[in-house]
Amino acid sequence: MKPPTEYTMPSRLAEVYKAHPAYLHHNHLDFESLREVPESHAWPPLDDYPSRDSYGAESVPVIDLADPNSVKLVGYACKTWGVFQVTNHSISMRLLDNIESEGQRLFSLPRQQKLKAARLPDGISGYGVARISSFFPKLMWSEGFTIVGSPAEHARQLWPQDFSSFCDAMEEYEKEMKQFAGRLLWLILSSLGINKEDIKWAGPTGDFGDAGAVLQLNSYPACPEPNRAMGLAAHTDSTLLTVLYQNSTSGLQVLRDGVEWVTVTPIKGALVINVGDLLHILSNGRYPSILHRAVVNATHHRLSIAYLYGPPMNVQISPLSKLVDPSHPPLYRPVTWSEYLDAKAQHFNKALSSVRLCTPLNGFVDMNNNNSVKVG
Ligand SMILES: O=C(O)CCC(=O)C(=O)O
Ligand SMILES: [Fe+2]
């Protein structure tokens, strides 16, 4: 598609997608009725790297946020994994159960009903296939529902009489998540020696009040031939961080050290935290944004709810000056979230390299490049 002739900086997240409409097929399969994976959804064998379950010392770190050492633990997890799980996070089990059951209620609606709330090609919110589908020749074994702010407009299409319980649950979750993600971001930043004076865009009270966010509900039906299907293809998140709630069915995998896929085992009530591309930029490459994917299984439906958390739309994100010195030159040029989303919409897994100034010196492996960049 042609670039727009006159470019004005989008001030709202939804506007970013207008520049890159994605004409995805919304002719979803009725997954439940299929006895085999059709060609449209059949992926070549998933054998790029071996997969293993998470166990012992080699499992994704689990951090109790009430631990007095939590800053250190979070810093270590971000540096060595780029992903961790947290317990004692202050989001109530009641709310987690509630969004899970509202999510289930949505995805178990008849297909024709869900399509009434279909995401428009140039829209951000609503029901549809994964937006990254446009980068792959095959479709994924999943469906999603995206919320920015209030879901009321689409929820009304789904349940004309009774959309308030869905909206109430999602809005309460967005509010709680916004606070929690801000708190978590400070925890991560303090592990890098960054404090309130260093981040002006945190706002006068330091609560990241102008932060942007997207709530993404993902549904992965059980699949008759799980080895031929892909739930959600490998990607990094274009966020500062992502907070993911998953039901008790496993499926999320992270690429460990560029050599193997490790399953993030569901822990009841825990939340998974991913380092996103923008935090990787802020940290000047110290914290890797984690490549992850979702696989499917033959017997269990899986549901996940991702809170994609980013900076205020027009704030320039660049390596923090405290993390830049002669032996650590800035690795990335300044970029706003909306510019970065734009780069992602064009370059997908090469977006991070498209804003890079020079190669990392510390042996960091840039997964986004799909080749190993090791320098120094
Ligand atoms: O379902 C999952 O575990 C992963 C979801 C995800 O990566 C995303 O929504 O960006
Ligand atoms: Fe993701």
Q: Which pTM does this prediction carry?
A: 0.93
- Write the residue with the smallest CA distance to atom 3 of ligand 1: 252
Predicted confidence (pLDDT) at residue 92 exceeds the cutoff of 90: yes
What ipTM goes with this model?
Answer: 0.99
Distance 104 CA to ligand 2 centre (A): 20
Q: Residue 234 and residue 290: Cα distance in Å, rounded?
A: 10
Q: How many CB atoms lie within 10 A of CB 142?
A: 27
- Write the residue with the smallest CA distance to atom 1 of ligand 1: 304
Q: Check residue 369 and give its pLDDT.
A: 52
> For ligand 1, what atom is nearest to the CA of residue 264?
3
> For ligand 1, what atom is nearest to the CA of residue 274?
7
Predicted confidence (pLDDT) at residue 375 exceeds the cutoff of 90: no
- Ligand 1 pocket test target in 216, 291, 309, 344 with most atoms within 8 Å of CB: 216
- Ligand 1 pocket test target in 218, 241, 261 with most atoms within 8 Å of CB: 218
- Mean pLDDT along residues 328-346: 94
Is 302 marked active-site?
A: yes
Distance 53 CA to ligand 2 centre (A): 19
Under the banding of pLDDT at 50, 70 and 90, the label for residue 9 is low
Under the banding of pLDDT at 50, 70 and 90, the label for residue 370 is very low
Q: Domain map of the chain by residue range? A: 8-364
Distance 294 CA to ligand 1 centre (A): 7
13-27, 127-141, 358-372: range with lowest mean pLDDT: 358-372
Closest CA to 353 of 277, 300, 283, 248: 277
Distance 283 CA to ligand 2 centre (A): 19
Residue for token pair 């990392």: 360
Under the banding of pLDDT at 50, 70 and 90, the label for residue 58 is confident
Closest CA to 304 of 40, 135, 160, 107: 107
Our measurement of the distance from residue 19's CA atom to the centroid of its chain's CA atoms, rounded to an integer in Å, reads 21
Q: Check residue 11 and give its pLDDT.
A: 61
Distance 209 CA to ligand 1 centre (A): 25
Q: What is the CATH number of domain 8-364?
A: 2.60.120.330
Q: Amino acid identity of 178?
A: K
Under the banding of pLDDT at 50, 70 and 90, the label for residue 4 is very low
State both tokens at 74.
């979070």
- Ligand 1 pocket test target in 147, 244, 309 with most atoms within 8 Å of CB: 244
Edge-to-edge strands, sheet with 232-235? 51-52, 260-263, 252-256, 292-294, 232-235
* pLDDT tens profile 161-197: 999 999 999 999 999 999 999 999 999 999 999 999 9
* pLDDT tens profile 237-292: 999 999 999 999 999 999 998 899 999 999 999 999 999 999 999 999 999 999 99
β-strand pairing of 241-246 with 252-256: unpaired
Residues with CB under 5 A from ligand 2 (ion): 237
Our measurement of the distance from residue 310's CA atom to the centroid of its chain's CA atoms, rounded to an integer in Å, reads 10
Q: Check residue 361 and give its pLDDT.
A: 54
Ligand 1 neighbours (beta carbon < 6 A): 216, 218, 232, 237, 244, 246, 251-252, 292, 294, 304, 306
Under the banding of pLDDT at 50, 70 and 90, the label for residue 56 is low
* pLDDT tens profile 206-248: 999 999 999 999 999 999 999 999 999 999 999 999 999 999 9
3-state secondary structure the chain: CCCCCCCCCCCCHHHHHHHCCCCCCCCCCCHHHCCCCCHHHCCCCCCCCCEECCCHHHCCCEEECCCCCHHHHHHHHHHHCCEEEEECCCCCHHHHHHHHHHHHHHHCCCHHHHHCCECCCCCCCEEECCHHHHHCCCCCCCEEEEECCCCHHHHHHHCCCCCHHHHHHHHHHHHHHHHHHHHHHHHHHHHCCCCHHHCHHHCCCCCCCCCEEEEEEEEECCCCCHHHCCCEEEECCCCCEEEEEECCCCCEEEEECCCEEEECCCCCCCEEEEECHHHHHHCCCCCCCCCEEECCCCCCCEEEEEEEEECCCCCCECCCHHHCECCECCCECCECHHHHHHHHHHHHHHHHHHCECCCCCCCCCCHHHCCCCCCC
State both tokens at 314.
């027009």
